[in-house]
Amino acid sequence: MTVTMTDLDFLSYADVHRVVVETIPAIRQLSISAVSFVPRGGGVIAGIIAQLLDLPLIEAAELARMPSGRCLLVDDMIVTGRSLAAFRRRFLPDGRAVPTYVFAAVPSARLPGAEVDLVSITVDPARYFLLPWEIGDIFRPIFPFPILVDLDGVIRAPGDPARALLTTPHVIAHLVCFGGTEAAAAQWLAEHGYRHRRLTCLADPEDSAELGEIIQQNAVRLYLTGDARRGRAVRARCPSCHVIVFPEMIEV
């Protein structure tokens, strides 16, 4: 069933850690002796749990060799349950049951037969749920909202233009840079293997009014910036736009 996305929710790393800590008492009740995960996102959550409970973190290939019911399987999020089912078919071919924790999931009624023991956050299917290690998903064609991304501080290292930061194989819908020329910025992007659909160059990085106009004119719903002060100024002007600061990965 197709769901029209109405808005998005973003969690910072601190938010994620807090939620996992709140779930630890319930995880303790499972009497586990190790933690494994569904790559890639499950590895972040599993690492936190393993540290908090002082348990070994094992690779998927070792899961089938663990005593039944003693290793916690962790995934960060499930929407359809297909990835988790595919993981089980590959690494648990004997069909054994393993205690499973999913950080965030759509309502259980939409996941028949998902075999999940614990869920921390129930996600509204009409809201895009974005975790901090999945920030690259905003570049994917399936991301449902218009975006704007700073070139410097997000894609290109500030003060060191030879160094690239956030990498994506996808076409970046809209980039903004401050100072310099559009031709020079486009050349840097091409030389470093980036593709983009639109590039806007502004003269003054302190002019939040002009940047705000661009966000409003293009109905931008997520602005990824490398400057927290600029992000806060934009947020004040464009309250309907989610502003995330990179690399701290916090929403302002």
pTM for the predicted model, two decimal places: 0.92
Per-residue model confidence as pLDDT tens digits over 194-251? 999 999 999 998 989 999 999 999 999 999 999 999 999 999 999 999 999 999 999 9
User: Is there a contact between 99 and 117 (Cβ–Cβ < 8 Å)?
Assistant: yes
Give the helix/strand (H/E) hosting 53.
helix 41-53
What is d(CA 213, CA 196) in angstroms, rounded to the nearest whole number?
21
Does residue 144 sit in the same domain as residue 118? no
What is d(CA 108, CA 69) in angstroms, rounded to the nearest whole number?
22
Does residue 119 sit in the same domain as residue 207? no
What is d(CA 136, CA 194) in angstroms, rounded to the nearest whole number?
13
The two structure tokens encoding residue 228: 């927290």
> Hey, how many other C-beta atoms are within 10 angstroms of the C-beta on 108?
11
Does residue 214 sit in the same domain as residue 171? yes
Length of the chain: 252
User: Is there a contact between 136 and 111 (Cβ–Cβ < 8 Å)?
Assistant: no
Residue that the structure tokens 């590895």 belong to = 43
Number of domains in the chain: 2
Does residue 12 sit in the same domain as residue 98? yes
Q: Is residue 2 part of a domain?
A: no
What is d(CA 61, CA 172) in angstroms, rounded to the nearest whole number?
35
Q: What percent of the chain has pLDDT over 70?
A: 98
Alpha helices, DSSP H, located in 147-207? 182-191
The residue out of 128, 155, 183 marking a domain boundary is: 128
Q: Is residue 1 part of a domain?
A: no
Does residue 117 sit in the same domain as residue 14? yes
Report CA 235 to chain centroid distance, whole Å.
Answer: 20
Q: Which letter does DSSP use for residue 152 in this model?
A: B
- The amino acid at 197: R
What is d(CA 222, CA 138) in angstroms, rounded to the nearest whole number?
9
Does residue 106 sit in the same domain as residue 187? no
ω into 158 cis (within 30 of 0)? no
Q: Is residue 41 part of a domain?
A: yes
Does residue 216 sit in the same domain as residue 114? no
Least confident of 36-40, 46-50, 151-155: 36-40
Does residue 141 sit in the same domain as residue 119? no
Does residue 94 sit in the same domain as residue 148? no
The CATH number of the domain holding residue 101 is 3.40.50.2020
Per-residue model confidence as pLDDT tens digits over 162-195? 899 999 999 999 999 998 899 999 999 999 999 9
The two structure tokens encoding residue 44: 């972040």
Residue that the structure tokens 């690492």 belong to = 47
The residue out of 90, 106, 128 marking a domain boundary is: 128
Does residue 180 sit in the same domain as residue 204? yes
Does residue 103 sit in the same domain as residue 206? no
Q: What percent of the chain has pLDDT over 90?
A: 76
Range of the domain at 53: 7-128
Strands of the 242-245 sheet, one edge to the other: 199-202, 175-178, 147-150, 222-225, 242-245, 250-251
Can you give the pLDDT at residue 160? 86
Q: Return the higher-pLDDT residue of 94 and 181.
A: 181
The residue out of 78, 102, 128 marking a domain boundary is: 128
Can you give the pLDDT at residue 104? 96
The CATH number of the domain holding residue 184 is 3.40.50
Does residue 94 sit in the same domain as residue 159? no
Report CA 106 to chain centroid distance, whole Å.
Answer: 16
What is d(CA 99, CA 35) in angstroms, rounded to the nearest whole number?
10
